[in-house]
Amino acid sequence: SQQGEEDPQALSIQEGENATMNCSYKTSINNLQWYRQNSGRGLVHLILIRSNEREKHSGRLRVTLDTSKKSSSLLITASRAADTASYFCATDEGNSGYSTLTFGKGTMLLVSP
Amino acid sequence: KAGVTQTPRYLIKTRGQQVTLSCSPISGHRSVSWYQQTPGQGLQFLFEYFSETQRNKGNFPGRFSGRQFSNSRSEMNVSTLELGDSALYLCASSFSTGVNTEAFFGQGTRLTVV
């Protein structure tokens, strides 16, 4: 079953613009992770934000987490054509003491030169 | 440090056959999870292994099974293949199974059932 739901499903922007993707989830979580996938290949881990964190940065990436609204956002600043990919949020509920990720269906980002 | 290695990268099988996929985790990682990705269902959790023990299992039929060896390498097996089993199968490794542990994925095995 899907826990995270990304919004929008697809996003098309020009190089240099910022891209914002949102993720909503349903149950309490230990952490939320964002991944990138290029054209049906493996997933690349971008960033992990813990349930007690509100904001995290990594290079051109900024992730926020609002546990009261059960939502997260991923901001990519100054987008590049190489950022073209699908982006997934994954929630770690882990209430059994170990980690299982539940993924959303992803946002397809197209960055045009 | 080498990443997660999955073999083979591509596979074509006939309905009714069985298939075995392999995953070598990052050195030092003891947890291996498997996921199935399809256009319709997205990414779905199959199972997780830690220290040769299956710790968690997703909602898949018994035709899907797996195991983990003492060197943390893992295999998953699908028996009596169906057309709907066509998917990208992704393996992820983690240092431990504790919460707040990052999972690193391999490039996947693309299975096509004809």
In chain B, residues with a C-beta closer than 8 Å to the C-beta of A108 are none
In chain A, residues with a C-beta closer than 8 Å to the C-beta of B109 are none
Q: Worst-scoring range by mean pLDDT, A27-36, A70-79, B67-76, B94-103?
A: B94-103
User: Cβ(A86)–Cβ(A109) under 8 Å?
Assistant: yes
Q: How confident is the model at residue A95 (pLDDT cuts 50, 70, 90)?
A: low
User: Cβ(B47)–Cβ(B67) under 8 Å?
Assistant: no
Residue bearing tokens 């600043």: A77
Q: Worst-scoring range by mean pLDDT, B26-30, B99-103, B110-114?
A: B99-103
Average pLDDT over residues A60-78: 97
In chain B, residues with a C-beta closer than 8 Å to the C-beta of A4 are none
Q: How high is the mean pLDDT of chain A?
A: 90
In chain A, residues with a C-beta closer than 8 Å to the C-beta of B102 are 33, 45, 48
- Residue A3 is predicted with a pLDDT of 60
Residues of A with CB under 8 A from a CB of B: 1-2, 30-31, 33, 35, 40-45, 48, 50, 88, 90, 92, 94, 96-106
In chain A, residues with a C-beta closer than 8 Å to the C-beta of B44 are 103
CB contact (8 A) between residue A101 and residue B105: no
In chain A, residues with a C-beta closer than 8 Å to the C-beta of B94 are 99
CB contact (8 A) between residue B97 and residue A98: yes
Average pLDDT over residues A74-84: 97
CA distance A90 to B8: 26
CA distance A108 to A84: 8
CA distance B4 to B104: 7
CA distance B80 to B93: 27
Residue bearing tokens 């993707």: A21
Amino acid letter, B6: Q
Q: Give me the DSSP letters along chain B.
A: ----EEE-SEEEE-TT--EEEEEEPPTT--EEEEEEEETTTEEEEEEEEETTEEEEE-S--TTEEEEE-TTS-EEEEE-S--GGG-EEEEEEEES-SSTT---EE---EEEEE-
Most confidently modeled of A36-50, B21-35, B85-99? B21-35
pLDDT of A2 > 60? The answer is no
Average pLDDT over residues B61-73: 96
User: Cβ(A79)–Cβ(A13) under 8 Å?
Assistant: yes
Average pLDDT over residues A108-113: 96
CB contact (8 A) between residue A45 and residue B104: yes
B 8-67: CB under 8 A from A: 31, 33, 35, 42-45, 48, 50, 55-56, 58-59
- Residue A30 is predicted with a pLDDT of 86
Distance from the first to the final alpha carbon of chain A: 36
pLDDT of B49 > 90? The answer is yes
CA distance A11 to A18: 11
Average pLDDT over residues B45-57: 91
Distance from CA of B79 to the nearest CA of A (A): 23
Is the omega angle on the peptide bond into residue A8 within 30 degrees of 0, that is, cis? yes
Determine what percent of chain A is predicted with pLDDT higher than 90.
73
- Residue A1 is predicted with a pLDDT of 45
CB contact (8 A) between residue B56 and residue A35: no
* Chain B: residue whose CA lies nearest to A107: B42
Average pLDDT over residues A97-103: 75
pLDDT of A4 > 70? The answer is no
Nearest CB neighbour to A42, from listed B42, B102, B106: B106
Average pLDDT over residues A24-30: 89
Q: How high is the mean pLDDT of chain B?
A: 93
User: Cβ(A92)–Cβ(A100) under 8 Å?
Assistant: yes
Query: ∠ CA B84-B85-B89 to the nearest 5 degrees?
Result: 140
Q: How far is CA B98 from its chain centroid?
A: 19
